[in-house]
Structure 1
Amino acid sequence: MFYYSVLFLFILNLGISTQDNLSFQNENIEIYSLRQRTFFDVTTKTIVIKNCSLERIEIEAFKNIHVHKIYIVENPLKRLKRRMFSNVQVDELYLDRNNIDSIEPGTFNYVLPIYEDSLQILSLSYNSLQTVTRGMFSGTNFRKIVLNYNQIESVEFGSFENMPYLMALGLGGNKLKRIDVGVFNNFHMPVMLKLSENSIGFIHPRAFENSTIFSLDLEENNLGVISKSTFLNTNIGWFFV
């Protein structure tokens, strides 16, 4: 255990540049921190950091990299900072099953798709987020954001604005009790929206205004009567309740 820990940390200090898959997923390898430029000028298919006791990612730990998938999962990581990912081209970014409870505004503003039409996914399921604020995701290029099974109690006005490619948003299995005005307004594209398994008892009539919702999942909530006035100026395709 000690030998592999020291060897791996030595490699991290040098920085990594390779064309092979990079996979570190051994509970016996303890990596508490990723330092600046740990992954620098890297072109690879997949980076996996799983169950390695990772607690901290420093600014520009991932810089100038081109990778199809990044998995940072099952670690005690709590905080995501702006510019941790700097000029990172990636198709799919998975940050599931950590202890993330804080995301600094602008954290994902330097995460870019590999190809203009690529399906870019950000997954943060099974973490400890309690609120979604403006700046966490607004202005990013993600097509799909998954925030299922956190502890989210509120979503601020405009949290998902200026996201021209967003097509799917998952907020199922959280602690939402109401959907206020402006939360899901002005989507640029038809969106699949999952809000099931919350405690939603109130939806503001203008919560989805000027948006086209391809499918809206409100199953397993606390809603009473739902009428046309609940969704003013909104086009909804499939509706599950």
Structure 2
Amino acid sequence: MRVVLLLSLLTLASSKYYQHVNVMDMMRNYDVMMADSGDDDDSNNLNDHYDICPVGCHCSPRVVQCSDQGLINIPAKIPADSLMIDLQNNDITEIKEDDFKGLDKLYGLFLINNRISKIHPRAFKNMNRLRLLYLSYNMLTEIPANLPPNIIELRFHENRINKIQRDAFKGLRKLHVLELGANPLANGGIELGAFNGLSTLYVGMSESRLTAVPKDLPTSITELNLEYNKIFKVEVEDFIRYKNLQRLSLSFNQIRSVENGSLAKIPNIREIHLDNNNLKKVPVGLSSLRYLQVIFLHANKITSVGVNDFCPIRFGEKKNLYSGISLFANPVKYWDVHPATFRCVGGRRGVQLGNFRK
């Protein structure tokens, strides 16, 4: 069941544009939350109703919804047994030290789309059960200090963070999903050791002004999103640390070449997105990736496709069948592509060639 929750978080974390989070939908996964937290106390009191509720908010069992209320501060008198607090789409500018005092049972805190530029270093004190912290679409310029230790998902999409300091996520050993997209980071803004101690599975750094693949991300990552950056080349050393990668997205960059041997460093990869770049040929090494099933190469400048670009040369060599290869919107003449080129694709619909239009 933990996998189900993680998949839903990944879907949400990979969204390019702001989407309102439906907190009640998340509450339907409450049994997953309790299993993850390891807390059994008060699990039979979910049907208890609040006697108090912040002005202008709507309260249901353990959920406080205060979105779209024009709030400029965190409301007072939030019930102490709250699990979820929804403060999306308000005008909150600051989180003070005692704003969440006494809310030590909180599981999810949603502060998306406010004007938050300052968070007190002790604002999250004693919030050891907090798992979901959504701070996207605010005005933060740095990663808040002293984040709750048991967080499993952090979202900072579209803030003003231009630097990630060493040990910025210190102590977050349970973090699975980290979304940092649409911040003016650039490669120089990531200090060596910024991700020390993390065992994160997903890292999102799209729209971050990166000119190269970051070299110091957590070695545990299985999914990396680097879409909409300014990366112009993939080099051999780019993925040496990321041997567990299963999904890689480099769409909408300026990549002109993928150095020979680069893809061999990620032998467990299942899905690669290299569409909307400036590649002139199919990257070398795809045929050696045993588990690769999806490769997107559309909207590049590829002029020819070799018969062994995708499939192993030796007959009988084990290789998972492709479910998707996209080559449309390239100046390649599809009638010149040998039929045997796609001999390891599972079905005719698995290949998209199409026509090239200037």
1:81–1:46 Cα change, 3 Å: same
Map Cα deviations across residues 7-57 of structure 1 (whole Å, 9 max, x no partner): 426459x9x976242222344x241x449xx56783223201122211122
Map Cα deviations across residues 168-224 of structure 1 (whole Å, 9 max, x no partner): 1111111112225x3424113142111111111134555435365512111111102
Within 5 Å, give how 1:38-57 maps onto structure 2: 38=145, 42-57=149-164
Q: Distance in 1 between matches of 2:204 and 2:297?
A: 20
1:158–1:109 Cα change, 3 Å: farther
Given candidates 167, 187, 196, the residue that maps to 1:86 is 196
Partner of residue 115, structure 1: none
Partner of residue 24, structure 1: 135
Partner of residue 117, structure 1: none
User: Runs in 1 of length 4+ with deviation above 6 angstroms?
Assistant: none
Matched, 1:161 2:264: yes
Matched, 1:145 2:248: yes
Within 5 Å, give how 1:1-241 maps onto structure 2: 7-8=118-119, 10=121, 19-27=130-138, 29-31=139-141, 33-34=142-143, 38=145, 42-63=149-170, 64-79=172-187, 80=190, 83-105=193-215, 107-108=216-217, 110-112=219-221, 120-138=222-240, 139-179=242-282, 182-208=284-310, 210=312, 212=320, 214=322, 215-224=324-333, 225-228=336-339, 235-237=344-346, 238-241=350-353
1:71–1:109 Cα change, 3 Å: closer
Instruction: Kindly indicate whether structure 1 or structure 2 has the higher relative contact order, using CA contacts under 8 Å at least 6 residues apart.
Output: 1
Q: Distance in 2 between matches of 1:42 and 1:2?
A: 24
Contact between 2:156 and 2:181, CA under 8 Å: does it hold in 1?
A: yes
TM norm structure 1: 0.76
Task: Read off the aligned partner of 1:152 and give its amino acid letter.
Answer: I
Q: Distance in 2 between matches of 1:207 and 1:82?
A: 36
1:202–1:69 Cα change, 3 Å: same
Asked which structure has the greater CA Rg, the reply is 2
> Where is the strand percentage greater, Structure 1 or Structure 2?
1
Contact between 1:82 and 1:104, CA under 8 Å: does it hold in 2?
A: no
Contact between 2:310 and 2:341, CA under 8 Å: does it hold in 1?
A: no
> Where is the helix percentage greater, Structure 1 or Structure 2?
2
RMSD across aligned positions (CA): 3.2
1:39–1:95 Cα change, 3 Å: farther
Q: Distance in 2 between matches of 1:39 and 1:216?
A: 44
**What is the CA distance between 1:110 and its match in structure 2?**
2.4
Map Cα deviations across residues 88-140 of structure 1 (whole Å, 9 max, x no partner): 223322222221112343x235235xxxxxxx321111111111111222442
Q: Distance in 2 between matches of 1:60 and 1:208?
A: 41
1:85–1:188 Cα change, 3 Å: farther
Task: Read off the aligned partner of 1:163 and give its amino acid letter.
Answer: I
Map Cα deviations across residues 137-156 of structure 1 (whole Å, 9 max, x no partner): 24421211111111111111
Contact between 1:68 and 1:92, CA under 8 Å: does it hold in 2?
A: yes
Q: Distance in 2 between matches of 1:207 and 1:159?
A: 15
Query: Secondary structure at 2:119's aligned position in 1?
Result: helix
